[in-house]
């Protein structure tokens, strides 16, 4: 069938199983948008307020479903606005196809209106990218893009399509099925046997898992392993939601802001079994000191992650689900009463340290704070603090609701505290740490799954991309936005308090934004909570509806994310209380 | 070749942008390239890139793995320097004077170089060989006045019948 390039794009997207795309029109994609209009009953396009929001929405769609997320932007500024979203997906291994229009091939390289070399720009932040200069290659290039995005360790792929390719015609025939990923690599039998004997020799094994468990669909194998070898588990930020937070073997996230028991247990282990994780600097701190006490078995689908940040004693390349499935039968079931006892001690110590931190003098004082303090006069038992906010919200939410965060203190508090049950219900920008990620991602996740999303954000992060409230309203997205509003850029402020003599350079916002009015101006509902009592009521209302609702929660600017391993520090430097 | 220097042969798809992808990977991951050459292979769809870099074994492994991740890279191999023929081509323009002419000619002969252009004031020598040989020749030419020079960078191919495949 002879059809034009724009139609080939839409037909190929549908062929690849794509039901929803996120984007923003413009001069060099006008032909593509014409086809999206003509095919609006077959493929849903969600109009974002800004291309960055569209990219984050495609990312949220992909993280919530495991399918490839698709975003579309025009050339030039449209394309460059996608870049942060693409980089966010790249650092967190999210399958995405970004389609950009470009000026006609005859105008390329002449600094034409709205021309940028987006392939050059995105080369370091994509798994691969393409510019299509021949209509005959258009459909297959898009198919390859999907194939690359979902193969092995997933990631974003960009396809740049000049306007004349969209208008040219070529023969197209849809394939019956979406492209299949490249064949997976499987762990070598010999290495798995070595792993098994290392585990059998170990007295204090600790499982450290990352986002690879989620993208590798290996949650149940992971739980079986932990059960069988009686090992505690800790995870990276990206690993959260892979196992239920209340699993008795699970100690929570470790690393810079991880749970005390989780980080210390790892340090006291004699063997760390790293599964689908990459030993980021936020997880390890000082790399020279990090693995002084334990051996490491590292299993990952991406060979390049093995021995990249930390040199393991045994590195195994392969699909994680298959590797665990084959490893588990090689291991005898054991019990480790002494190690279990030590873990229980650490849990108790963690609880005690949390209490001490909450009761510390610092937590009560607002010295050097120039903000009008919203906390004054509220009795302690009714005060909102970050954990209390999370507890109230999570008590109203359903376990299938998808929790999304922005970046900063609120992100770490949510990562530490929110009780997660199911994989793919916690979406956060881990590797890139993109403030402004959350609202777009929440919209994308809701659009994909038809489920409610709960966005935890801060007044700083929310300020970055709050324009997407417009999208949430036009889509009637069931999103509850919880702003932890402390009037400061809390995470940077925390560093300034600890490491820069309380020089609060540019972290005191002193804004007069009324988030309730703002929500209403966008057509959403909004309410402000100063006390726990108020938040209970507001949350009740927010979760009873099915449309965007913004809850502005007052939080003390002296709330700290604890514990904290200082950057480049090690477990001995752990801060659990501010004095 | 220096001790901590490595030579890798990389077979890549012959598509536009592939050189940027390969060289860009080195830049953004903080690896230093001593020398990089690219050229055709026996099969038209593929090019062969020879990269020389220095570092330890850990860096070598990281570079190989990162190269293998690139979609357009089909094969990567660290070449064993004792089992590899390594060559580089030098073109060097030297000042030509009656006083120095004979000495230059002697050096050219001993190094099995060739004079490929001759004018009353300048001559161009062509020399092929391993890097150390080229370095020595350049050193020798310095006193006579090097006017201009360029070298291709190393290309390398393994001895015997082991090959980098252009099919995967």
CATH at A299: 3.40.50.1220
Catalytic residue flag (residue A522): no
The secondary structure element, H or E, covering residue A349 is helix A337-359
- The pLDDT tens digits for A39-89 are 999 999 999 999 999 999 999 999 999 999 999 999 999 999 999 999 999
Contacts of B21 in chain A (CB under 8 A): 123
Does the model's pTM come out above 0.80? yes
Catalytic residue flag (residue A16): no
**What b-and-e string marks burial along A436-450, b requiring 16 or more CB atoms within 10 Å of the CB?**
bbbbbbbbbbbbbbe
Has residue A176 been placed in a domain? Answer: no
Q: How would you classify the pairing of strands A549-554 and B5-13?
A: unpaired
> What's the gap between Cα A559 and its chain centre?
23
Write down the ipTM of this complex. Answer: 0.91
The shortest C-alpha distance from A498 to chain B (Å) reads: 31
**Is residue A541 classed as helix, strand or coil in its secondary structure?**
helix
Regarding whether A154 and A89 lie in a shared domain, the answer is yes
Identify the residue whose tokens are 């950057």: A567
Cβ atoms of residues A257 and A563 within 8 Å: yes
Contacts of A154 in chain B (CB under 8 A): none
Regarding whether A471 and A381 lie in a shared domain, the answer is yes
Bond from prior residue into A563 cis (ω within 30 degrees of 0): yes
Q: For residue A10, what are the domain limits? A: 2-171
The answer to whether the Cβ–Cβ distance between A128 and B71 falls below 8 Å is yes
CATH number of the domain that A484 lies in? 3.40.50.970
The shortest C-alpha distance from B65 to chain A (Å) reads: 5
Give the closest residue to A392 by CA, choosing from A237, A532, A252, A566.
A532
**Beta carbons within 8 Å of A340's beta carbon, 6+ residues apart:** A230
Q: What is the pLDDT of residue A368?
A: 47
> What's the gap between Cα A322 and its chain centre?
24
B164: left (phi over 0), alpha (psi -120 to 50) or beta: beta
Chain A residue at shortest CA distance from B24? A124
Contacts of A120 in chain B (CB under 8 A): 20
- The pLDDT tens digits for A393-410 are 999 999 999 999 999 999
In whole angstroms, what is the distance from residue B23 CA to residue B27 CA? 7
**Beta carbons within 8 Å of A271's beta carbon, 6+ residues apart:** A198, A199, A201, A202, A204, A205, A206, A294, A295, A296, A297
Q: Active-site residue among A35, A51, A317, A449?
A: A51
Tell me which residue in B62, B68, B70 faces A308 most closely, judged by beta carbons. B62
Regarding whether A198 and A83 lie in a shared domain, the answer is no
Domain boundary among A294, A319, A349: A349
Has residue A177 been placed in a domain? Answer: no
Cβ atoms of residues A375 and A383 within 8 Å: yes
Residue A68 per-residue DSSP state? P
Q: How would you classify the pairing of strands A169-171 and A2-4?
A: antiparallel
**Chain B residues 67-86 within an 8 A CB cutoff of chain A:** 68-72
The secondary structure element, H or E, covering residue A79 is helix A77-91
Domain count, chain A: 3
Regarding whether A286 and A151 lie in a shared domain, the answer is no
Cβ atoms of residues A203 and A230 within 8 Å: no
Regarding whether A370 and A517 lie in a shared domain, the answer is yes
Regarding whether A27 and A145 lie in a shared domain, the answer is yes
The answer to whether the Cβ–Cβ distance between A127 and B17 falls below 8 Å is no
Regarding whether A404 and A332 lie in a shared domain, the answer is no
Tell me which residue in A124, A127, A307 faces B24 most closely, judged by beta carbons. A124
In whole angstroms, what is the distance from residue A316 CA to residue A190 CA? 10
Has residue A375 been placed in a domain? Answer: yes
In whole angstroms, what is the distance from residue A360 CA to residue A257 CA? 19
In whole angstroms, what is the distance from residue A398 CA to residue A417 CA? 16
Contacts of B61 in chain A (CB under 8 A): 307
Q: What is the pLDDT of residue A426?
A: 98
Has residue A139 been placed in a domain? Answer: yes
**Beta carbons within 8 Å of A191's beta carbon, 6+ residues apart:** A314, A316
DSSP letter for each residue of chain B: --TTEEEEEEEEE--TTHHHHHHHHHHHTTPPPSEEEEEE-SSTTEEEEEEEEE--HHHHHHHHHHHHHSTTEEEEEEPPGGGEEEEEEEEEEEE--TTTHHHHHHHHHHTT-EEEEE-SSEEEEEEEE-HHHHHHHHHHHGGG-EEEEEE---EEEESTT----S--
Regarding whether A282 and A232 lie in a shared domain, the answer is yes
For chain B, the straight-line distance linking the first and the last C-alpha, in angstroms and rounded, comes to 30
Contacts of B57 in chain A (CB under 8 A): none
In whole angstroms, what is the distance from residue A77 CA to residue A435 CA? 20
**Mind listing the pLDDT tens digit of every residue in chain A (579 residues)?**
899 999 999 999 999 999 999 999 999 999 999 999 999 999 999 999 999 999 999 999 999 999 999 999 999 999 999 999 999 999 999 999 999 999 999 999 999 999 999 999 999 999 999 999 999 999 999 999 999 999 999 999 999 999 999 999 999 999 999 999 999 999 999 999 999 999 999 999 999 999 999 999 999 999 999 999 999 999 999 999 999 999 999 999 999 999 999 999 999 999 999 999 999 999 998 988 999 999 999 999 999 999 999 999 999 999 999 999 999 999 999 999 999 999 999 999 999 999 888 877 666 655 444 555 556 667 777 888 999 999 999 999 999 999 999 999 999 999 999 999 999 999 999 999 999 999 999 999 999 989 999 999 999 999 999 999 999 999 999 999 999 999 999 999 999 999 999 999 999 998 889 999 999 999 999 999 999 999 999 999 999 999 999 999 999 888 999 999 998 888 889 998 887
Domain boundary among A319, A349, A379: A349
Regarding whether A318 and A278 lie in a shared domain, the answer is yes
Regarding whether A363 and A344 lie in a shared domain, the answer is no
The shortest C-alpha distance from A412 to chain B (Å) reads: 28
Q: What is the pLDDT of residue A367?
A: 46
In whole angstroms, what is the distance from residue A255 CA to residue A570 CA? 9
Give the closest residue to A125 by CA, choosing from A91, A82, A159, A100.
A91
The shortest C-alpha distance from A236 to chain B (Å) reads: 23
Domain boundary among A317, A349, A381: A349
Q: Active-site residue among A1, A113, A399, A517?
A: A113
Catalytic residue flag (residue A113): yes
Up-side HSE of residue A576: CA atoms within 13 Å toward CB? 17
- Select the residue from A121, A303, A315 to test the B interface by mutation, using most B Cβ atoms within 10 A: A303
Q: Active-site residue among A67, A127, A150, A163?
A: A163
Q: What is the pLDDT of residue B73?
A: 97
Has residue A206 been placed in a domain? Answer: yes
In whole angstroms, what is the distance from residue B90 CA to residue A177 CA? 55
Has residue A184 been placed in a domain? Answer: no
The answer to whether the Cβ–Cβ distance between B70 and A128 falls below 8 Å is yes
In whole angstroms, what is the distance from residue A486 CA to residue A371 CA? 9
Cβ atoms of residues A518 and A529 within 8 Å: no
Has residue A180 been placed in a domain? Answer: no
**Beta carbons within 8 Å of A30's beta carbon, 6+ residues apart:** none
E strand segments, A468-523: 479-485
The two tokens of residue B132 are: 């150390």
Quick check: B62 contacting A, CB < 8 Å?
A: yes
The answer to whether the Cβ–Cβ distance between A124 and B28 falls below 8 Å is yes
Regarding whether A371 and A323 lie in a shared domain, the answer is no
- The pLDDT tens digits for A219-259 are 999 999 999 999 999 999 999 999 999 999 999 999 999 99
Tell me which residue in B21, B58, B69 faces A123 most closely, judged by beta carbons. B21
The answer to whether the Cβ–Cβ distance between A304 and B65 falls below 8 Å is yes
Q: What is the pLDDT of residue A375?
A: 61
**Mind listing the pLDDT tens digit of every residue in chain B (168 residues)?**
667 899 999 999 999 999 999 999 999 999 999 999 999 999 999 999 999 999 999 999 999 999 999 999 999 999 998 899 999 999 999 999 999 999 999 999 999 999 999 999 999 999 999 999 999 999 999 999 999 999 999 999 999 988 887 764
Has residue A183 been placed in a domain? Answer: no
**Chain B residues 2-61 within an 8 A CB cutoff of chain A:** 17, 20-21, 24, 28, 58, 61
Regarding whether A63 and A162 lie in a shared domain, the answer is yes
For chain A, the straight-line distance linking the first and the last C-alpha, in angstroms and rounded, comes to 73
The answer to whether the Cβ–Cβ distance between A128 and B17 falls below 8 Å is no
Contacts of B70 in chain A (CB under 8 A): 128
Chain B residue at shortest CA distance from A148? B71
Tell me which residue in A123, A304, A311 faces B24 most closely, judged by beta carbons. A123
Q: Active-site residue among A233, A412, A464, A491?
A: A491
Q: What is the pLDDT of residue B1?
A: 64
Question: Angle at Cα B112 formed by Cα B94 and Cα B159, nearest 5°?
Answer: 125
The shortest C-alpha distance from A109 to chain B (Å) reads: 14
Residue A331 per-residue DSSP state? S
E strand segments, A204-345: 205-209, 233-235, 250-253, 271-275, 295-300, 314-317
């Amino acid at each position: 069938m002879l059809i034009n390039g724009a139609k080939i794009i839409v037909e190929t997207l549908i062929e690849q199983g794509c039901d929803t795309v996120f984007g923003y029109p413009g001069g060099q994609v006008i032909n593509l948008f014409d086809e999206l209009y003509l095919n609006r009953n077959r493929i849903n396009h969600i109009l974002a307020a800004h291309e960055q929001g569209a990219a984050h929405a495609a990312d949220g769609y992909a993280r919530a479903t495991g399918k490839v997320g698709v975003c579309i932007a025009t050339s030039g500024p449209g394309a460059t606005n996608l870049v942060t979203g693409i980089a966010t997906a790249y650092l967190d291994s999210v399958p995405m196809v970004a389609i950009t229009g470009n000026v006609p091939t005859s105008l390329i390289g002449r600094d034409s209106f709205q021309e940028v070399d987006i392939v050059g720009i995105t080369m370091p932040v994509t798994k691969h990218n393409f510019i299509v200069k021949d209509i005959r290659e258009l459909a297959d290039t898009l198919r390859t893009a999907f194939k690359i995005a979902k193969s092995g360790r997933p990631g974003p792929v960009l396809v740049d399509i000049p306007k004349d390719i969209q208008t040219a015609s070529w023969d197209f025939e849809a394939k019956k099925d979406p492209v299949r990923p490249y064949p997976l690599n499987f762990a070598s039998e010999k290495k798995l046997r070595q792993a098994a004997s290392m585990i059998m020799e170990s007295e204090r094994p600790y499982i450290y898992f990352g986002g690879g468990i989620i993208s590798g669909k290996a949650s149940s194998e992971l739980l079986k392993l932990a059960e069988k070898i009686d090992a505690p588990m800790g995870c990276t930020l990206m690993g959260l939601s892979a196992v239920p937070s209340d699993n008795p073997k699970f100690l929570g996230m470790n690393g810079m802001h991880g749970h005390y028991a989780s980080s210390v247990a790892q340090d006291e282990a004699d063997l760390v079994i790293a599964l689908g994780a990459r030993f980021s600097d936020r997880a390890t701190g000082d790399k020279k000191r990090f693995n002084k006490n334990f051996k490491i078995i590292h299993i990952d689908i991406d060979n390049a992650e093995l021995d990249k940040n930390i040199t393991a004693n045994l590195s195994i390349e392969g699909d994680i689900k298959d590797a665990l499935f084959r490893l588990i039968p090689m291991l005898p079931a054991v019990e480790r009463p002494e190690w279990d006892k030590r873990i229980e001690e650490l849990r108790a110590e963690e609880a005690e340290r949390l209490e001490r931190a909450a009761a510390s003098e610092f937590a009560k004082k607002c010295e050097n704070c120039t903000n009008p303090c919203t906390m004054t006069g509220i009795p302690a038992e009714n005060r909102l603090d970050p954990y209390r906010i999370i507890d109230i919200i999570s008590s109203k939410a359903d376990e299938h609701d998808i929790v999304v965060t922005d970046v900063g203190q609120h992100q770490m508090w949510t990562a530490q505290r929110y009780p997660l049950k199911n994989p793919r219900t916690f979406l956060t920008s881990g590797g890139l740490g993109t403030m402004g990620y959350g609202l777009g991602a929440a919209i994308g996740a809701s659009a994909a799954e038809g489920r409610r999303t709960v966005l935890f954000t801060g007044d700083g992060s929310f300020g970055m991309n709050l324009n997407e409230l417009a999208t949430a309203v036009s889509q009637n997205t069931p999103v509850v936005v919880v702003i932890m509003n402390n009037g400061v850029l809390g995470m940077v402020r925390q560093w300034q308090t600890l490491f820069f003599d309380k020089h609060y350079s540019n972290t005191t916002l002193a804004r007069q934004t009324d988030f309730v009015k703002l929500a209403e101006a966008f057509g959403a509902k909004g309410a402000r909570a100063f006390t726990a009592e108020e938040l209970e009521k507001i949350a009740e209302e927010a979760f009873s509806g099915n449309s965007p609702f913004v809850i502005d929660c007052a939080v003390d600017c002296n709330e700290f994310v604890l514990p904290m391993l200082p950057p480049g520090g090690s477990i001995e430097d752990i801060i659990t209380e501010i004095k | 070749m220096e001790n901590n220097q490595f030579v890798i042969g990389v077979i890549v798809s012959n598509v536009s942008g592939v050189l940027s992808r390969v060289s860009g990977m080195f830049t953004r991951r903080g690896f230093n390239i001593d020398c990089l050459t690219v050229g055709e292979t026996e099969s038209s769809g593929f090019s062969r890139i020879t990269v020389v870099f220095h570092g330890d074994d850990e860096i070598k492994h990281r570079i190989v793995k990162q190269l293998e991740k690139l979609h357009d890279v089909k094969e990567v191999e660290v070449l064993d320097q004792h089992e590899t023929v390594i060559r580089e081509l030098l073109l060097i323009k030297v000042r030509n004077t009656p006083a120095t002419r004979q000495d230059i000619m002697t050096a050219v002969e001993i190094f099995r170089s060739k004079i490929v252009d001759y004018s009353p004031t300048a001559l161009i020598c062509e020399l092929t060989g391993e890097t150390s040989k080229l370095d020595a020749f350049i050193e020798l030419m310095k006193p006579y006045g090097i006017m201009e020079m360029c070298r291709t960078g190393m290309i390398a191919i393994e001895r015997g019948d082991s090959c980098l495949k252009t099919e995967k």
